[in-house]
Amino acid sequence: MSAPTTVPDGTDRQALAAALQEAYPDKRGLKASRVDTLIRLPMLKIMSHKADQHGASVYSYVFTHSSGVAGSYHGSEIPYVFDNVSGKLADHISQAWVSFAKTGRPSADGLPQWKPYTRENGATMILDDHSKLVHHHDRELMRLLSPNYSY
């Protein structure tokens, strides 16, 4: 969530603040300029198109855990995936990746049931201290930040 994002001119700032709060209610003080549309938007497009093919299930996640000054950013979940960080979150994430490698379904004790992503349901696991499965959590936020982007 940390690559700089430019808020389009003419964006309704109140609507943007509301969409940001709705998308990431646990991230007090998060600014729209810190939401990474450079990664998120293409991933939404790729996931939607892949899910539309009705082949292997697609699983979506957004890693929002922030353990330092830089906050969360693309790739900051990797130490958790390989269990190189101590704590419950690392246990959950590494277990989920191992489960995915073994079975094609990410799951871990202590994580909510991870549902496959579809264009219709927008199922996305928010990976953080209190992980949760959400549906289309940032659709309005992405629309406001990039109104001409379609997926």
Q: Is the full-model pTM beyond 0.75?
A: yes
pLDDT band at 8 (very low <50, low <70, confident <90, very high): confident
Count of C-beta atoms within a 10 Å radius of residue 87: 13
pLDDT in tens, 44-86: 999 999 999 999 999 999 999 986 545 678 889 999 999 999 9
Q: Where are the beta strands (DSSP E) in the chain?
A: 60-63, 123-127, 132-135
Q: Tell me: pLDDT of 5 over 80.
A: no
Task: Select from 61, 58, 63 the least CA-distant residue to 74.
Answer: 63
Domain ranges within the chain, ordered by starting residue: 13-145
Residue-level pLDDT at 122: 98
**For 116, how many CA atoms within 13 A lie in the half-sphere containing its CB?**
13
